[in-house]
Structure 1
Amino acid sequence: MTPAARLQAVIDLLTEIDETPRPADAVMSAYFRNRRYIGSKDRTHIAQTSYAILRRHARLGWWIERTGFPRATPRARVLAYSLLEERRNAGVVLEMFSGGKFAPARLTDDELALVTALDTHTLDHPEMPETVRVECPDWAEGPMRAALGDRFAVEMEKLLEAAPLDLRVNSMKANQASAIKALSKVQIVAETTQWSPWGLRVKGRPQLAGVGAFKDGLVEIQDEGSQLVALAVAPKPGHQVVDFCAGAGGKTLAIAARMKNKGRVVACDVLEKRLKRATERFRRAGLHNIEAHPLTSERDPWVKRHKRKFDRVLVDAPCSGTGTWRRNPDARWRQLGPGLEQLLPLQANILDSAARLVKPGGRLIYATCSMLHDENEGQVAAFLETHPDFTVKPIAEVWAEEEAGPSPVEGDFLRLTPARHDTDGFFAAVLERKAEEAVAEEDAGMEEVDPAELATAIDA
């Protein structure tokens, strides 16, 4: 493809993303699947340019509005990106928008005025507001500032970068050293991750679908932060475990491998089709201690029938996804699912229902890929107020039990951020249900309290 044809493809792709109520990566996959005539190098260039423009959505929009141009259309964003970020001069841009075969149509008078106004400028400007500079949408500014404090700018800037490609080694088939060796045979360079004992970080963006180590289940694509959430579950061989919101099954796989194919892992989700796709991953990994069970809702009768039966219950709750903005830059600006006001009561309801599955002495692990306090510490605090038979298990104690080296965080909870840990933003809390003996002792103690004394204490 010529440079001009590539540019038109970027405009077409951004238009489809704007008009399709699906995540950008899904739209992009469908776009290339329907245009198999586009070569691999051209696909890479088109995808990278499109993502680069999505990552600069607010800044490009700010410049476009500043010039008086009526709307930040895909063509306007491509023009602004070419001038401000790629530093092409106006003459080169005019040549590319020639109206020739496969090239973008000629510029309108308004577009020509936009090009003239932006020529010689760069993307940064001293008058640009901080929220625009760090690409923070209005709805998220307050919650993100509250959660990040004086680290707001540094964490938001890190979220502007493209996420690295991380793999998790399937410990049933390989270890980090043998997986690195297997990948090196096909010229894929990988090194061990900083925190995860199973993690590898790959150099570049190699296509893994046809690689033997991937097809044979030696490695799975999984962000290091997600691997650490699975580690926080701390499952043991022989345990009974539920992954309550299993989704595509990434954490399910890590948990099952940690259990060495012994015991039982139940992968639950309300999206049955997604669970069916996950079973293909389970088979490829050689894990036969996993069973998939679709739920009608978080209050499915299956939960009541299995009350207090499981050693570990992971709730990877649906959330705002603010911790994954490196991977999903369009998610900042497009609400494709429930908003925060709907998510908060849903998370609380899921957590309350899943807690019924935890046996005395067992653990409930609440996790999100959010960086917002209300979805994380706030949900845990509200849960503990209404579930006094659960207590927080400090994350350092879990790491010590798992012999996973130093804890990546201080404090009770696993809170991972891109700038501190070079992972996606994740949160996890380990909540342990008291053993029946402890609960019985507490109940007995309460019965011995004189009612008058208790009333006086409450009034005080």
Structure 2
Amino acid sequence: MTPAAARLQAILDLFTATEAERRPVDAVTSAWLRGRRDIGDEDRGTILDTLYDLLRHRARLTWWLEKFGREANARNQFLAWLVLAERRPAEEIKRLLGEEPQDGSLLNKLHGHTIEHPEMPEAVLLECPAWAEPSLRARFGDRFAPEMNALLTPPPFDLRVNPIKATREGALKQLAKLGLPAEPTPLAPHGIRLAEKFALSRLPALKTGEVEIQDEGSQLVAQLVDAQPGDRVVDFCAGAGGKTLAMAAQMNNKGRIIACDVNEGRLKRCSERVRNAGMHNVETKLLGSESDKWVKRKKLGFDRVLIDAPCSGTGTWRRNPDTRWRDEGGLEHLTALQSRILASAARLVKEGGRLVYATCSMLPEENEAQVEAFLKAFPAFKLVPLAEVAPDLPQTGDYLSLTPAQHDTDGFFAAVMTRTPA
């Protein structure tokens, strides 16, 4: 097998694996690549770039296959991609990838076409799934198309400098020495944006905890918490701890952060990152559910509570294009869970303390509607307008509302609330 043929077969094998499994694509690709140490960095980059291109064109590829009465399986989607996007001749594809029954007929039917067609519905052209389309149209109105188009572009590669161990200036100099063009992020004070992708093994600072991979929007959400040295803070849905680490650094390693989650594996990863970053003010807490008895025991005990709620992830579709086709459990299930989490975690906030509710979603049902319902049900809390707490951030109304098209970050929402004195 030639190198070109091996590369194509590897792409097809990985794409087939991602289609067959229900795990997130990044987890599938990591496991798949770990088992193939013989694939070099350059080929890995090509394989992953092509995989993500396939995922970003899934609706359009499926439309073409349905037009010609073909199943939208991984092989057929890949064949369609090679013809429609890469413009490869049928004979070249068959020579490099081999030929199975019906391949030739499909390749011939696709020949001469491009990946977009005038008859495609707008939602197909924009890769917007039916379950999210009504809400996103309501959210963006006339900006629906440009916002959806922005979600089809590869995301920037952002880092956050850990000020406990390094400075942004020093990190930029290190990147320059490594031949990795970078610049400060426009909004986040400790952020760095890389001009191009690179093999993570090239950056020792990732291993030493001097920098972390974190989208600028995520950094800004952590900044809104405004955790101060000596504060008692809860990161209620901490996951692997990206925002936990950012807040711990804000606190200059003083005070106490409790990183909570219902997933033991995520908390284990959080603990590893905390140690690597040199943070001593973080502990983890495994919860049985959002209404764990620990919450009741610790009520009114914290200065700051961040809820980075589980959500549809519509704001991360640039980064995780597979998730737009995973409506697992439905939006109603998610919004009900968000409501329960918000009501439960709010008990932890002391009088005068700050509650920040955030998602990486751009759907009103998960964002503004959740906050408005919570404030109506819990009059002890009031909304603090964004201009009062963060006048230097993009002013998007009372809430922080970031989008890829307008701010070149992932889509993030955050609301700042405070518990008023009794």
TM-score by length of 1: 0.89
Range with bigger deviation, 27-36 or 248-257: 27-36
- Quote the residue 2:307 is aligned against: 315
Tell me, yes or no, if the aligned pair for 1:230 and 1:254 is still in contact at 8 Å. yes
User: What are the Cα deviations for residues 215-260 of structure 1, in whole angstroms up to 9, with x where unaligned?
Assistant: 2211100000000100111111111100000001000000010011
Q: Deviations over 1:141-173 (max 9, x none)?
A: 111111111111101110011111100011112
Distance 2:322 2:220 in 1: 25
Partner residue, 1:82: 82
Aligned pairs for 1:35-74 (under 5 A) are: 35-69=36-70, 71-74=71-74
- Equivalent of residue 251 in structure 1, options 243, 252, 259: 243
Question: How many Å separate the matches in 1 of 2:329 and 2:360?
Answer: 15
Distance 2:202 2:45 in 1: 17
Q: Which residue type is aligned with residue 417 of structure 1?
A: T
Instruction: Determine if the alignment matches structure 1 residue 277 to structure 2 residue 269.
Output: yes
SS at match of 2:88: coil
Letter of the 1:398 partner, please give it: V
Structure exhibiting the larger radius of gyration computed from Cα positions: 1
- Post-superposition offset of 1:40: 2.0
Partner of 1:457: none
Alignment of 1:203-282 (within 5 A): 203-209=195-201, 211-282=203-274
- 2:98 corresponds to: 105
Q: In structure 2, what is the equivalent of residue 435 of structure 1?
A: 421
- Counterpart CA distance in 1 for 2:326 and 2:104 is 29
Q: Is the 8 A contact 2:233 2:303 kept in 1?
A: yes
Which secondary structure does the structure 2 equivalent of 1:356 belong to?
helix
For structure 1, which segment, 406-415 or 215-224, has the greater mean C-alpha deviation from structure 2 after superposition?
A: 406-415
Cα displacement string for residues 10-41 of structure 1 (whole angstroms, at most 9, x for unaligned residues): 11111111111101111111111112122222
Q: Which moved more, 1:201-210 or 1:344-353?
A: 201-210
In 2, the alpha carbon distance for the partners of 1:211 and 1:356 equals: 42
Question: SS of 1:362's equivalent?
Answer: strand
- Equivalent in the alignment of 1:449: none
Indicate the residue corresponding to 2:386 in structure 1: 395
Corresponding position of 1:455 = none
How far apart are 1:4 and its partner, in Å? 1.6
Structure 1 distance, partners of 2:159, 2:399, is 24
Measured after TM superposition, the shift of residue 210 of structure 1 is 5.3
Q: What is the CA–CA distance in structure 1 between the aligned matches of 2:50 and 2:200, rounded to whole Å?
A: 21
Pick which of 141-150 and 37-46 moved more.
Answer: 37-46
Distance in 2 separating the partners of 1:118 and 1:210: 41
Q: Which residue of 2 aligns with 1:366?
A: 357
**Residue 81 (structure 1) shift:** 0.6
What RMSD over aligned residues (CA atoms) do the two structures have, in Å? Answer: 1.2
User: How far has the Cα of 1:42 moved from its partner?
Assistant: 1.8
State the Cα deviation string for residues 160-205 of structure 1 (Å, max 9, x = none). Answer: 1111110001111222211101222222221001111111001211
1:243/1:315 contact within 8 Å kept: yes
Structure 1 residue 74, shift from structure 2 partner: 1.3
* Residue of structure 2 equivalent to 1:11: 12
Query: Shift in Å at residue 407 of structure 1?
Result: 2.1
Superposed displacement of residue 92, structure 1: 2.1
AA at the equivalent of 1:173: K
Letter in 1 for 2:401: R
**What is the match of residue 367 of structure 2?**
376
In structure 1, how many angstroms separate the alpha carbons of the residues matched to 2:89 and 2:11? Answer: 19
Secondary structure, in 3 states, of the residue corresponding to 2:390?
helix
State the distance in 2 between where 1:220 and 1:113 align. Answer: 49
| Amino acid paired to 1:314 | L
Specify which of 405, 408, 427 is matched with residue 394 of structure 2: 408
1:328 shift after superposition: 0.8
The reply to whether residue 420 of structure 1 matches residue 406 of structure 2 is: yes
1:68, CA displacement in angstroms? 2.4
Query: 2: CA distance between counterparts of 1:269 and 1:300?
Result: 11
1:143 aligns with 2:135: yes
Matched, 1:184 2:185: no
Q: In structure 1, how many angstroms separate the alpha carbons of the residues matched to 2:15 and 2:326? A: 13
Q: TM-score, normalised by structure 2?
A: 0.97
Alpha-carbon separation, structure 2, partners of 1:308 and 1:290? 19
Q: SS at 1:139's partner residue?
A: coil
Distance in 1 of aligned mates of 2:304 and 2:377: 20
Are positions 1:123 and 2:115 aligned together? Answer: yes
Q: CA deviation at 1:51?
A: 1.1
Structure 2 alignment gaps of length 5 or more: none
Runs of 4+ deviating beyond 3 Å = none
Residue identity matched to 2:209: G
Structure 1 residue identity aligned to 2:31: A
Q: Secondary structure at the match of 2:131?
A: helix
One-letter amino acid of the counterpart of residue 433, structure 1: R
Instruction: Quote the Cα distance in structure 1 between the aligned partners of 2:199 and 2:46.
Output: 14
Q: Distance between the aligned counterparts of 2:207 and 2:395, measured in 1? A: 34
